[in-house]
A and B are shown apart, each in its own frame.
Chain A
Amino acid sequence: MGRQIRDVRMSLQTLRVLETFLENPMTELAGADVHKRGELASGTLYPILLRLETAGWFVSRWEAVNPAHVGRPRRRLYRLTPSGLARASEVFASFGRGVPA
């Protein structure tokens, strides 16, 4: 597992994204939500979400709404996978910060 963590590039912005999801690991968040909570610029945020999803830390799905009914496009919702949750917790523990409550 430690090898898997080392394989994922950990930057300050990546840690902030993970921290946002770790506040409530079961919650699904769209990019706009992470932008608000983590105060991350969109140019940085979306590549990180894609990388973490590619690495298996996140899974994503489309919002189950009809765009014609809600009058807007569907949102892409991200959620930590169980292994992603474990890895994220391990990362923060290695930094001495622990997992946010």
Chain B
Amino acid sequence: MTPQNDLAQRLIRRAARNVPPALAERLDEEWSADLAARSGTFSRLRLAIGCWWATGVITRDVAVPQVATSGAGGSVRTPLGGLHYDLPLLSRRTVTFLAIAGVHVLLIYGFTSGIAQHVVQSLPPLTHAVVLDETRPQRPALPAPTLDVKPLTGRIDPRILLPPPSFEFPAAGTSGPEIKAGPEVIDTLPQPPPVLHRLAGGPGRGFPNTDDFYPAASRRLAETGAATVQVCIDTQGRLAGDPVITQSSGIVRLDEGALKLAKAGSGHYRPTTENGQPVSSCYPYRIRFRLDD
């Protein structure tokens, strides 16, 4: 006899002790005999648990006073006449309810005891967050706008109104009134600034072809885009410093190709001119990589 089977036997004996004494010995032997007829461990344990359940029902049955018991053909009055349904111990509804309750108990226990935390820690992370250093793009120095301002040709004469000169009337016999002259008109208008004609520079004659710097990998992958490059050019059209990307094309390869092109074009830039004179300046321009069909 396995320990489980022995457990079933002990459960039945204990259950039989809980019924009224008049029935205890009978039910003990009856249930033990039925237990012997069962072979499976689970079946035997189920019978034992059922006997426990039956014990409570039988005890309640006996506790209700019986008005009369039956004889053969006599009137019958059952002690449980008020009840109308027998609930099986492990009906489908009961099993479902117990299963749901068990799941809830396990979940609550897992959350409160921290078991779930170990489970979560053992799981691989679902997402990988890569924090990139945000570098604020340097705002390019925009070329000075060329104002279409015509030089002033006239002159505004804001005259100051002065009180009229005072006249003194001489006495009779004099030659006439002597008129005092007022102050002279004061010119308060500043001289206008000199007109500046500024023409922004850019790629000039002999500048390398963009297609020559189209990255081969980007060409194979049909990557297209445009990058904005900031260059500082001296008066000879040469680079005064390393060009920088101020607006990426979104593809690293294309950005690198744009920088190579900007460097290769040193000496072929058209410098910015102010009033026709070349000056050193920094300005951005866009380099577009596109595939012709």
Interface, chain A (partner B; CB < 8 A): 3-4, 7-9, 11-14, 30-32, 35, 40-48, 50-51, 54-57, 62-63, 72-76, 81-83
Number of A-B contacts (CB under 8 A): 135
Across the interface, name the chain A residue whose C-beta is closest to B80.
Answer: A9
- Contacts of B51 on A, CB cut-off 8 Å? 42-43, 46
**A75 CA to B69 CA, complexed, in Å:** 24
For the complex formed, measure the closest distance between the CB of A70 and the CB atoms of chain B, giving whole angstroms: 9
Across the interface, name the chain A residue whose C-beta is closest to B72.
Answer: A83
On whether A11 and B85 interact (CB within 8 A), knowing A43-B53, A73-B33, A82-B72, the answer reads yes
**A14 CA to B87 CA, complexed, in Å:** 11
Which residues of B67-101 are within 8 A (CB) of A? 69-81, 83-90
- Contacts of B57 on A, CB cut-off 8 Å? 43, 47
Which one of A43, A44, A46, A73 has the highest number of Cβ atoms from chain B below 10 Å of its Cβ? A43
Interface, chain B (partner A; CB < 8 A): 23, 26-27, 29-34, 36-38, 46-47, 49-54, 57-58, 61, 66, 69-81, 83-90
Are B78 and A55 in touch, CB under 8 angstroms? yes
**A58 CA to B257 CA, complexed, in Å:** 101
- Contacts of B72 on A, CB cut-off 8 Å? 56, 81-83
Which one of A40, A51, A82 has the highest number of Cβ atoms from chain B below 10 Å of its Cβ? A51
